[in-house]
Chains A and B, each alone.
Chain A
């Protein structure tokens, strides 16, 4: 299937969902004016992608500098989708990168983790570039 690439804007992140490499990346800041509208194609793509997946290992990299409250809900929904897929036996590894200079960033990752049952988030500290 086709890759999904959405370039970053001032308030939406870079989305690189590469079906050919089984690598899904979200990087940047997320506070869209209309969150549901922005993420709708992302979820549509993801659903199709997860359905056609067989035994490949998927790596998800999330490096989100800032997310607003409605994006927080979207991220939770994304993790829920990954968790569902893992329950169905898919191999998905999720990396949550956080900035060491932002004391809240690790906490955000931990809070998502607390609300997931089987999906494990790898919380990885990243030095600021």
Chain B
């Protein structure tokens, strides 16, 4: 098999994998606010057609916004030359997938992170996983009053916001790629 055919076959396989896992929407590459809004519109329409509750659709949209902003702000992989383009300025690269699993929707995000952030992020997520709704609410309000940490580019509320919206605790996986970078995957189930 020549290289061209291999590539065609692997893309077919990739697409098939997504289908088998229930993924119906994917965005991968340099992310931008505009792309995310388009994706959000499509996601909403798909969920409406499937007869989903308005509250579920609102939650999904809200999680999509937070995942996208996390990647834009914190992905260690930046679009080369992004500063030459207004839309891609400060953009980060990553992947966001939306899918359906049984009677739940899920949103997945994946992006590179600096090795130096792994420990802090892991601790933070484990701590959020153990909190119940009331504790999450308390954390959210405390953090909102206090304001962001120095290394935060937003309000430092995105992960708690998502933890409050999901039906099951946030799931995550951090795979070490090399000495400087890891790949961070976050799964939210609604």
Contact = CB atoms under 8 A, between A and B. Distances in A.
Interface of A: 10-11, 31, 33, 35, 66, 68-70, 72-74, 76, 101-104, 111, 114-115
Contact of A11 (B37, B72, B141): B37
A10 B145 CA distance: 27
A72 B157 contact: yes
B58 A115 contact: no
A68 B141 contact: no
Interface stretch (B59-67, B96-104, B181-189): B59-67
15 contacts: A31-B65, A33-B33, A69-B157, A69-B160, A69-B161, A70-B154, A70-B158, A72-B144, A73-B144, A73-B147, A76-B145, A102-B55, A104-B58, A111-B141, A115-B141
Contacts of B61: 66
Interface string B21-60: 0000000000001000100000000000000001100100
B137 interface: yes
Interface string B66-91: 10010010000000000000000000
B37 A10 contact: yes
Contacts of B54: 101-102
B58 A102 contact: yes
A79 to B, nearest CB: 11
Contacts of A73: 144, 147-148, 154-155, 157
Point out which of B55, B69, B72, B161 has the most chain A C-beta atoms below 10 A from its C-beta. Answer: B69
Interface residues of B, number: 23
A102 B37 CA distance: 21
Given A73-B148, A104-B58, A111-B141, 19 more contacts: A11-B33, A31-B65, A31-B69, A35-B155, A66-B61, A68-B65, A69-B66, A69-B155, A70-B69, A70-B157, A72-B157, A73-B154, A74-B155, A101-B54, A102-B54, A102-B58, A103-B55, A114-B141, A115-B141
Interface string B123-165: 0000000000000010001001101100000110110110000
B71 to A, nearest CB: 12
B33 A68 contact: no
A66 B58 contact: yes
Nearest to B72: A33
A73 B21 CA distance: 36
B41 to A, nearest CB: 9
Contact of B158 (A66, A69, A103, A111): A69
